[in-house]
Amino acid sequence: MSDVIIIGGGLAGLFNSLLLNRAGLSVTVIERKTYPFHRVCGEYISNEVRPFLKSLDIDVDDLGASHIKRLQVTSANGTKLSQTLDLGGFGLSRYTFDHYLYQKAAAEGVKFLLNTRVEDVQFAGDEFQVTIPNEILEAPMVIGSYGKRSNLDQKLKRDFFYKRSPYLAVKFHIKTDFPDDVIQLNNYQNGYCGISRVDGDKYCMCYLAHRDDLRKYGNLAELEQNIILKNPYLRQIFTNAEFLLDKPEVINEISFEKKQPVEQHILMSGDTAGMIAPLCGNGMTMAIHSAKILSNIVIKHYQAGNFNAQRRGLLEQEYTTVWNKHFAQRLWIGRQLQRLFGNNTTTDLTLRALKMLPPVTNYLISKTHGKPFA
């Protein structure tokens, strides 16, 4: 029996496991895949996380992270907005970063159950029962960090799960001739595609598209040819790139609907608690920060052998309050910004207006990012 079971071994799950283990809690992480593996992700992280990473003795430069200093946003009509990023960020593939964190956490004593799927979670008698194939695990606390969407969301009857999302996301790793300090967000009808350098002299290219467009054209290649490559910047990248993965990573039904940070006493972290629009390019940062916030609150309230309903209630209430304080507005602004894009005419008009108003552009960027934290 662990003090904490973490469902999902992405960034939020891994950072929670490191922090809680270092505080003396016994932690088990359940991950349905085996490291290292690729995830659908833009693979850009704001520099606001660097002081925190330093406090954990994590140097992403040792992992080959790129240094991102400039933002470019383009439209299908060829308009391009360029802006220096005051804080900046770095690019690092999930394949590299997650594997590194897994090895670090395992070496420090975190228990991992890999290639294991969680079938159900039940809370009764002030403790959880987590069902995996042929076994039931027990713990007084469960953290959900299983990402954007899972069958567990359906079992928990989470509201957002029943609001069908029309979006799918696709990620490639490529080699191409592209500035190594730029993150470029390229818009087209019903979606957008980000590209930036990550580790290993390669670039992450991740796009969002509409399910109806995929239906209309039948497959990803035709969708790209008829929708995505209407953006001239993307046409040039796709034409000249060397594609490195055997096949792209794909995820369906990406939802930007509001979620709750606590569901049936499960403490949600990362995308499981709320997902920022990919156009804002900062989901990895939020996952890391949300793990720090949650772990600090768990450490404050949890006492093994004396974790009663009152303590649990105080923990859940504080986490919900602090999570909303840090992320609720950021997610709301991300959803509003997304509405300005996705239509070729509206996107072009928005970019032309922002080019004439650099302070407004800086303000919008700041509202989708946080301040450095340790």
Q: Is residue 374 part of a domain?
A: no
Q: Is residue 265 part of a domain?
A: yes
Tell me, what amino acid is at 363?
Y
d(CA 254, CA 152): 15
What digits encode the pLDDT tens for the residues 313-360?
Answer: 999 999 999 999 998 888 888 888 877 787 889 999 999 999 999 888
Q: Is residue 373 part of a domain?
A: no
What was the pLDDT predicted at 148?
Answer: 82
d(CA 41, CA 32): 17
36 upstream amide cis, omega within 30 of 0: yes
What was the pLDDT predicted at 302?
Answer: 93
Q: Is residue 209 part of a domain?
A: yes
What was the pLDDT predicted at 159?
Answer: 87
- CATH number for position 13: 3.50.50.60
Q: How far is CA 200 from the centre of its chain?
A: 21
User: Phi/psi class of residue 200: alpha, beta or left (left: φ > 0; alpha: ψ in -120 to 50)?
Assistant: left
Percentage of residues in the chain with pLDDT exceeding 90?
Answer: 76
Q: Is residue 273 part of a domain?
A: yes
Q: Which of 179, 244, 94 is nearest to 102 (CA)?
A: 94
- Both tokens of residue 32? 């349905």
Q: Is residue 372 part of a domain?
A: no
Q: In which band, very low, low, confident or very high, does the pLDDT at 266 lie, cut at 50, 70 and 90?
A: very high
**Measuring CA to CA, how many Å separate 206 from each of 97, 170, 191, 255?**
17, 6, 11, 16
Q: Which of 251, 243, 307, 241 is nearest to 275 (CA)?
A: 251
Q: What does the angle CA 255 – CA 256 – CA 262 come to, to the nearest 5 degrees? A: 90
d(CA 159, CA 145): 17
d(CA 51, CA 62): 15
Region 295-300 average pLDDT: 97
Residue 255 structural domain: 4-367
What is the number of domains present in the chain? 1
Write the DSSP string, 165-231: --EEEEEEEEE-S--TTEEEEEEETTEEEEEEE-STT-EEEEEEEEHHHHHHH-SHHHHHHHTGGGS
CB 90 within 8 A of CB 45: yes
What was the pLDDT predicted at 252?
Answer: 87
pTM comes to: 0.94
What was the pLDDT predicted at 74?
Answer: 96
Place of tokens 């359906």: 154
Q: In which band, very low, low, confident or very high, does the pLDDT at 103 lie, cut at 50, 70 and 90?
A: very high
Q: In which band, very low, low, confident or very high, does the pLDDT at 150 lie, cut at 50, 70 and 90?
A: confident
